[in-house]
Chain A
Amino acid sequence: MAATLRRFNGFRLLKSTPALSLQQAKNLSTASSWANGNKKLIGAVGAVTGGVGTLLFALEQSVQASGTEVHPPAQPWTHKGLFSSLDHQSIRRGYEVYKQVCSACHSLQYIAYRNLIGVSHTEAEAKAEAEQIMVKDGPDDTGNFFDRPGKLSDYFPSPYPNEEAARAANNGAYPPDLSYISSARHGGEDYIFALLTGYHDAPAGVVLREGQYFNPYFAGGAISMAQVLYNEVIEYEDGTPPTQSQLAKDVATFLKWTSEPEHDDRKRLLIKVIGILGFLTAISYYIKRHKWSALKSRKIVFVPKEK
């Protein structure tokens, strides 16, 4: 050990120095023996890292300050807290909204009916939901494709067979897949809520082409999706009053879940991680004090030789 220390640090750590200066950290630093070029290199790397970070931050800020859309206000979501789970009753209502309103144009191709089990539906309910759709399957024994009722393992059906068909049916605009939409848009669920409730008449001077509507939260303001959520456009099975903002809030929560199905587990895990890391930090602190106690409390005393 001592030989290794000597090879790397010379005698700096091995020679005995007065007890007071032993505790000074600069004597333990290896930087004093670096060559001048090394110091300059490290300094340059530090400066470049800091500069790039500042530049990225500034660019991000400047992008937010310009642009043609209004940024969505932050809503008081019940899942916003560090340890707050999604509201599963709201996810269930949001699924109703998606199924009865959004699914007319938007696909949700990465979510399967089995994903609903234990989140918003029981297994029997999810099976019943899946059986309402028809899925093309095959080939059977005679080589023909056939339609069958959906199973739990089936993914949500898409309203159009492909993007071209979707564009042709929607005036050239492509209704995006909603599976990850909450993660894919700036503002996430705030954006979805603001967009769905933010339709109003175009202000003077804004020219909309046919089939376009004005929405200040959409980049450019001209959106090809008409307003779809109105008060009481659908009816909730649990009796919640279906106001426009309630519908928008529930579908935004549902789409937050489809984007981040691991959301609840992640926050549950955070509590465990804090507990374990807190314990490990306490142990590390104790062991550090324990190992250093001999070094910090030693005294070197000069005792003159008696003649």
Chain B
Amino acid sequence: MKVIYNTLFKRTSAYAVAIMASAFFFERAIDVSSNTIYDTINKGKLWKDIKGKYE
């Protein structure tokens, strides 16, 4: 805990950078995982599953 505090939270500059970097990775993680869930649930019904037949 102390390491996290000293490296990330102690100085405002490091804190701001940590917030922006973690926001980026959090967004990517949520986005990619929800898209995977959605595509798995609806496999075979989506356009990208059938478009191979028409190209």
- Which residue numbers of A lie inside 8 Å of B, CB to CB? 78-79, 81, 83-89, 92, 118-122, 125, 238, 264, 267-268, 271-272, 275-276, 279
Contacts and interface: CB of A to CB of B under 8 A. Distances in A.
Nearest to B54: A122
Contacts of A81: 41
Contacts of B31: 272
Give the most central of B33, B38, B46, B50: most A CB within 10 Å.
Answer: B38
Given A85-B42, A268-B35, A125 B47 contact: no
B37 A271 contact: yes
Interface of B: 26, 30-31, 33-35, 37-38, 41-42, 45-47, 49-51, 53-55
A122 B38 contact: no
Contact of A118 (B34, B42, B47): B47
12 contacts: A83-B37, A84-B41, A84-B42, A85-B38, A88-B46, A88-B47, A89-B50, A118-B47, A264-B46, A268-B38, A271-B38, A279-B26
Given A268-B35, A272-B31, A275-B34, A86 B55 contact: no
B47 A119 contact: yes
Contacts of A89: 45, 50
B22 to A, nearest CB: 12
B55 to A, nearest CB: 6
A275 B46 contact: no
A20 B46 CA distance: 59
A119 B49 CA distance: 11
Contacts of A122: 51, 54-55
B45 A88 contact: yes
Contacts of B54: 121-122, 125
A52 B53 CA distance: 54
A271 B33 CA distance: 9
A120 B38 contact: no
B34 A78 contact: no
A89 B53 CA distance: 11
A268 B39 CA distance: 9
Shortest beta-carbon contacts, A-B, top 10: A271-B34, A85-B42, A272-B34, A88-B47, A87-B45, A268-B38, A275-B30, A83-B41, A122-B54, A89-B50
A183 B11 CA distance: 54
B30 A85 contact: no
Contacts of B55: 122
A121 B51 CA distance: 8
A272 B28 CA distance: 11
B42 to A, nearest CB: 4
B49 to A, nearest CB: 8
A88 B39 CA distance: 13
